[in-house]
Amino acid sequence: GDIVLLAKPVTLTEGDRVTLTTDVPVATDGTSKPEKLLYAVSLPPVHGQIEHINYPGVPISSYSQLDVVAQKVSDVHDNSHGAGKEALR
């Protein structure tokens, strides 16, 4: 079926951490299996990384919709200069 993805920018300040919720990335593919709907991080944040909350400090390159629903994924700013909106792609 068709995949529908809605994503909003995330605004972080230096050293900030934002847990992703279904208000930021939300996708549907017509099935009821969120664990099988995967996001791939094709362009990581410029000033930080995407992390699984169980493994802080370790960048991840993919995560599932189930991870987002369970609030297990964070966008973490690395304390470098230049805060701003980061689009998840």
- Each residue's pLDDT expressed in tens, for the chain with a length of 89 residues: 566 666 777 777 788 888 888 777 667 676 667 777 888 888 888 889 999 999 999 999 999 888 998 999 999 998 876 544 444 44
CA 30 – CA 56 distance, rounded (Å): 32
Q: Does 25 map to a domain?
A: no
Range of the domain at 60: 34-75
1 within domain boundaries = no
The answer to whether residue 13 is domain-embedded is no
Report if residue 70 sits inside a domain: yes
Whether 63 is covered by a domain: the verdict is yes
Specify if 53 maps to a domain: yes
Q: What total of structural domains would you count in the chain?
A: 1
pLDDT of residue 87: 47
Is 10 part of any domain?
Answer: no
Residue 4 is predicted with a pLDDT of 64
Per-residue pLDDT at 53: 94
How is the chain split among helix, strand and coil, in percent rounded to 5? 10, 40, 55
